[in-house]
Structure 1
Amino acid sequence: MSAPNPWDNYTIGNAPVNPRTGNTRPCHACTRKVSSRGKNGYSGGSRNCKRLDEHHGCTQCRRDGLACINEGHIMPPYPEPPSARKHPPKCDHCLLLNFPCEKKRPCDACFESGTECTGSTFLCWYRGVPSDSMYGYYLAHGFGPTGIWDPNAIPGWVQPLDYHLQYIQREIDLANGVPQPPQVGAHPPMSDAARALELEYRQVLQLLNTAINNKDVDGNLTAIAAQLSVDLINMIPSNQSQVARDVMFFLQQRTVEFSKSNNPFHEAVPINFRGIKGINMNTLQLWNPGPQQYNYLGPIRNVVNTPRNGPPSPGPARPTFWIPWNIGDNDIPIIPNDNQFPPNHPEFIHPEHIRRAPFMEHPCEDGESELSTIPLMGVTPLLVQPEQCQVQNFQGGICGKASQTRCEDRNHDGPGMPICAEHEQQSRSNFMQQLTGIVPLLRQYLCAECTSAGVPLWNNLTNQGWKVYYQLPAGTNKPPDLQCTSIITTAMSKKVGGWYQTTYPITGCSCGYKLFHRVICSPHRLQYLINMQVAATQMREYCKSLYGRMVCPLCRARPGIDNYQFQGQAGGEENAIKGYCCLNCHGLVFEGEGGEPVQVV
């Protein structure tokens, strides 16, 4: 008695043509696409299942190493060389664990381990397509012939023209119990604890993936998954992973709709003083003109945090004085030195400021400036049709003069407030003195030793993501690359940091330029000046909580040169340049020549 042939009821080639449309029906594989199944289970008709003629299979099956079966007809492979293969994104499980992944859903790795296969289904098929476990399928996707764990790939492999006959013979052999080549390798075993932890990490990844797919944020999902996988392999709980923490912080900052103070449903928004001392309420009439009872209100009638008219300017890769969340007390040892220095000495450590177990949370985890929604570059756009200036006067009315400019702050959800040239200049003059007065608070100087290092200083900043403001002397060799990727600022969608080949007026960094070289309404200027004071004050409290004193932002071991009144060797008197870090935007500024202290301009 002859062996059973499971293909007795099938024919080879000549799939019929639809008499109504003139096209053939989609093949079995093309109707099994996950993300494009249409009416009656078909995925868009023959235009998604391209065949040369009724005697051959489709292009998709040959490209993916499948036997093309169409309504009971086993088709010879498409005769022309297939186009370049598109590799689908990995599923969440394989992305997180850096496992091999292919087009089936669930994929082989998830199917073998009993794991739910979630994530992208782009270009994927439902598991169970005929020949989806045959050698050609795996070779076509860059694996060895026996499966995803087989390393013996054949680059450039093309499906042979008799593949349909090989497939029939394989099915006959399987029906008759003929042994098949064993699969190479296997899914790495996972304990229950590892499986539970993998689910936690996958949830973090899925939140980011959802935000990216919804176009709420930009991000490099693959690169972040690779970093998460390192913590997962090391069995670090997700709530103790710095990578997971950065992802969640990034998402929280980018998806908050409205702040407490910037609410678009209110006519006017109160200026938030946030506990700042020394604000003279009487000067608000000068800073923000209006009726006496309203001089603490900012007439910002359409302001939200997100969505914005443009993305915020990212900070550096890490803010000043940042430490990993899981750093221990012993990693920052503090040795009392009251037996060496008096309390007024720059090196004296004040134990009353130090906080441990836990450390004080960093006040600006992502290093984003309070001015991140104000553009730095570009020309101020002019209105095609002038509008009435909306600046209030002391009687409560508006200026009403023709204005060709609006407030450029991107926090306006829609058009910013029209401001005439006269009131814009008046606003700048009113606030200039206030900013100049807080410059010393904003600056934390480097120590003399760090700024005397010259070239080694630049090399120490290489690929650290710092923003550096410095006019390099003519003829200077190409400076080192400062940029790097960052999860917490841009979700690794682009690099941050770099050289800004200039120093800007007043602050040296971009803060002064943004406040006084862009058109900004007075309520915004007032709020940002208050916010900058708060940010700098909190940064100083944070630094003291770590080290018991203010220290150099680079070495974190020695006081800054300003603590020595810029005098003597410790005060950097002999240094050609002097450096400081802005405690608002966290940029590094280097300026000053010939040993002269850096002056506020």
Structure 2
Amino acid sequence: MSGQESPVDQLLPAIEPGDPHRRWNNNVYQRCHGCLRRTPDRRHARCVRPTPGHGCRHCKSVGLVCLWEGFLLPPVPGKVKRTRPTPCDNCREIQAACDFGRPCLRCAQSNQHCVGGSMTNCFHRGTHSDQFYGYFLNLGFGASGIDDPNTVKLWSQPPDYHLQYQQWLLWQNKDNGLKSVLYQEYLTVIRLTRDVMLRGVSLNLASIMAQLRQDYEAGVLVNKSQACRDIHMYLYRESVVFPIFDNPVMEVAPVSIPEGTKMDILECRALNPSPDAELSFLAPLRNVAKTPIGRPRLPGPARPIYWVPWELDPEQLPVMPNGHLYPPNHPNIVDVDHLKRPLPPHPNESGESELSSIPYNRIWDDGEMYEADHRCRVSSQTGEECGNLTRRGCEDTTHTGQGMPICDACEEKSRMAFAQRFVHLLAHLRAHFCTACVNQDLVTLFTGAGHSIWFDWMAFGAASSLDFSAQTLVGTGYTKRVGDYMGNPLDMTGCSCAVLFLGRRLCNPHRLAYLIKMQQAADNMRAYCKNLYGRMVCPACRIRPGMDRFMFRGPDGGSETPIRVYGCLNCHQFVFSNNPASATEFSMSNLNSPTAPPPYTPRQHERDERVLIRTRRGAVLLRKRASFDEME
């Protein structure tokens, strides 16, 4: 990476400076660059910035970017009265519109002496941003200059006007001082990454620098760099894996039902009863922390379903209005009312499942985590707790201390009740592939993509040694790889969601909270897809609708294709099924008891990963590492 080692004195990155230099009153500050450049009769005018951290009224009224002590400030919020310049003598003679610069742009271009006209609000020619598009739009010209007739009525500076100007300056002249500033911004990110690595966080600094160097050489600003965004997300996640601060432990945490959820309150009360009216008759979570205790959450994929680069130009998306080509309610119709531009942020950029605090590789055999008997704390509508003796409890890793003891009878009743409600959510969680993509070489399509894939490799004729993993910054970092061949599709969901939700011993409050969160995750992902493409589309090609949009009928619905492929909108894992019935029909035969057959009981490799951890309150959590036996 090349560039100067010290930043320039002007045009630094746009940040909120704090405005320490105040004069006269609370809203008047030391004058900005635009006010200092005003013509002599107004050079002592006050610089009024009513909102801290934002530009002055004068700069916005004449269309300039407010530059104060080297900081580009965002425009002052609200409306500002725009003034029109009085034409100079030359512009008045040819009956042409003038601008605020002195000499004006027409006189400067024709090399004439600019005199006459009022000097109010005028500034010396060469003031920053007097060649930017917003300056001309503010005067009533087109964006390209004083001779552009394509005016924009009622134009106003957008909130990111100062950032647009910074980007424009960079591309106008890459060799100017802003190149040094860009270098310093990227250097700051690299130093932050290096400092975190020295504290023990696993990172590959060389790979990170290579990616950052690529963005830097392309002139991508830090706030537009996908690599910088991924790094900050990763560093944030690593800082909360083993939290010491900002991880409060709550003895009682209410279960809330957000507005807009499709679940009925009476149904929620039946699934998770409580006599407490202050808690809306819903049993609360007990002895829980904000994040898992002593272990990270389950990681997501390299990229989630329907992910697009953060800086992607919306014009690059294959979206064309086609309502005139199809009858009403046809799956191929693009609903332009759902489209959003600029593109909204991805609702789950890390791809992390809502069930990520539930261990897939079990820590405890069927939740048996206590050395001594505890009384089951599952409550009823009458207010009485079960009270049966048990050594088993909720397996969610956010529990701390005594956790939440659950007996076998209460777990069986809870599992069956939630399974009946969960079945209705399954179709909503799936984003199906289209027929054309299903008929492709699916195994090759996902090789090296960093996704977790569930399929029968013998049925698909694939080699068991294929590598589906990929390096990523999102969630796990460059030094770890995510995505793998997971095995044959599991019951109900095909992915791991049903195993975590129903195959692990959970308390009723946790199950209800996760049921609501999975519903919201699917709703948000479907809304995001429609915001991008105007309809639900195949996760692979993102052009054609999935098979489910045709009710699995006809050629487009895959009636002639014995394969179903879909992605889970909660865990962002993919499932290949060579049994069409399994994609639309579900069996609860494996959910009749807490000791149900695999995959709902611990597998051998799960038993080998138990470790013994003693908590301060004396509760014993059983795990055992295979390496312990080797050490002995």
Please say if 1:472 is aligned against 2:457. yes
- Using structure 1 for the length normalisation, give the TM-score: 0.64
Alignment of 1:153-232 (within 5 A): 192-215=177-200, 217-232=201-216
Please say if 1:306 is aligned against 2:298. no
Please name the residue that 2:20 is paired with: none
Alignment of 1:453-492 (within 5 A): 453=440, 456-473=441-458, 476-478=462-464, 480-492=466-478
Please name the residue that 2:221 is paired with: 237
Alignment of 1:246-285 (within 5 A): 246-255=230-239, 264=248, 266-285=250-269
CA contact (8 A) 1:580 1:589 kept: yes
How many angstroms does 1:191 deviate by?
A: 6.6
Which moves more between the two structures, 281-290 or 433-442? Answer: 281-290
Please name the residue that 1:389 is paired with: 376
CA contact (8 A) 2:453 2:574 kept: yes
Please say if 1:519 is aligned against 2:505. yes
Please say if 1:434 is aligned against 2:421. yes
How many angstroms does 1:529 deviate by?
A: 0.5
Distance 2:505 2:566 in 1: 27
Which amino acid in 1 is paired with 2:297?
A: P
Distance 1:427 1:402, change over 3 A: same
Alignment of 1:325-474 (within 5 A): 325-356=310-341, 358-378=342-362, 380-381=364-365, 382=368, 383-453=370-440, 456-473=441-458
Distance 1:203 1:413 in 2: 38
CA contact (8 A) 2:434 2:546 kept: yes
Distance 1:594 1:317, change over 3 A: closer
Please name the residue that 1:592 is paired with: 578
Deviations 1:569-593 (Å, cap 9, x if unpaired)? 1111121211111111111111133
Distance 1:540 1:334 in 2: 16
Q: State the SS of the aligned residue for 1:303.
A: strand
Please say if 1:539 is aligned against 2:525. yes
How many angstroms does 1:201 deviate by?
A: 1.9
CA contact (8 A) 2:241 2:297 kept: no
Which moves more between the two structures, 293-302 or 344-353? Answer: 293-302
Please name the residue that 2:546 is paired with: 560
CA contact (8 A) 1:224 1:491 kept: no
Distance 1:484 1:268, change over 3 A: same
Which amino acid in 2 is paired with 1:423?
A: C
Distance 1:553 1:366, change over 3 A: same
Distance 2:334 2:446 in 1: 27
Distance 1:438 1:278, change over 3 A: same
Aligned length: 414
Q: State the SS of the aligned residue for 1:301.
A: strand
Which amino acid in 1 is paired with 2:391?
A: Q
Distance 2:326 2:252 in 1: 52
Deviations 1:196-235 (Å, cap 9, x if unpaired)? 22222232233334444445x5433332222112212223
Q: State the SS of the aligned residue for 1:282.
A: helix
How many angstroms does 1:307 deviate by?
A: 5.4
Distance 1:432 1:594, change over 3 A: closer
CA contact (8 A) 1:581 1:587 kept: yes
CA contact (8 A) 1:218 1:490 kept: no
Which amino acid in 1 is paired with 2:388?
A: K
Distance 2:359 2:534 in 1: 36
Q: State the SS of the aligned residue for 1:487.
A: coil
CA contact (8 A) 2:377 2:387 kept: yes
- Tell me, which stretches of 5 or more residues in structure 1 are unaligned? 1-96, 100-108, 116-188
Distance 1:411 1:551 in 2: 36
CA contact (8 A) 2:274 2:283 kept: no
Distance 1:265 1:476 in 2: 47
Please name the residue that 1:317 is paired with: 302
CA contact (8 A) 2:249 2:288 kept: no
How many angstroms does 1:237 deviate by?
A: 1.1
Distance 1:269 1:209 in 2: 38
Alignment of 1:15-94 (within 5 A): none
How many angstroms does 1:472 deviate by?
A: 1.9
Match of 2:488 among 495, 499, 502: 502
Distance 2:230 2:452 in 1: 20
Deviations 1:220-268 (Å, cap 9, x if unpaired)? 3332222112212223211111000111122334445999xx9745442
Distance 2:439 2:380 in 1: 52
Distance 1:579 1:190 in 2: 50
Distance 1:296 1:229 in 2: 56
How many angstroms does 1:431 deviate by?
A: 0.7
Please name the residue that 2:115 is paired with: none
CA contact (8 A) 1:263 1:269 kept: no
Deviations 1:42-70 (Å, cap 9, x if unpaired)? xxxxxxxxxxxxxxxxxxxxxxxxxxxxx
Please name the residue that 1:579 is paired with: 565
- Tell me, which stretches of 5 or more residues in structure 2 are unaligned? 8-173, 588-632
Distance 1:286 1:561, change over 3 A: same
Please say if 1:550 is aligned against 2:541. no
- Using structure 2 for the length normalisation, give the TM-score: 0.61
Distance 1:594 1:320, change over 3 A: closer
Distance 1:190 1:546 in 2: 36
Please name the residue that 1:163 is paired with: none
How many angstroms does 1:394 deviate by?
A: 2.6
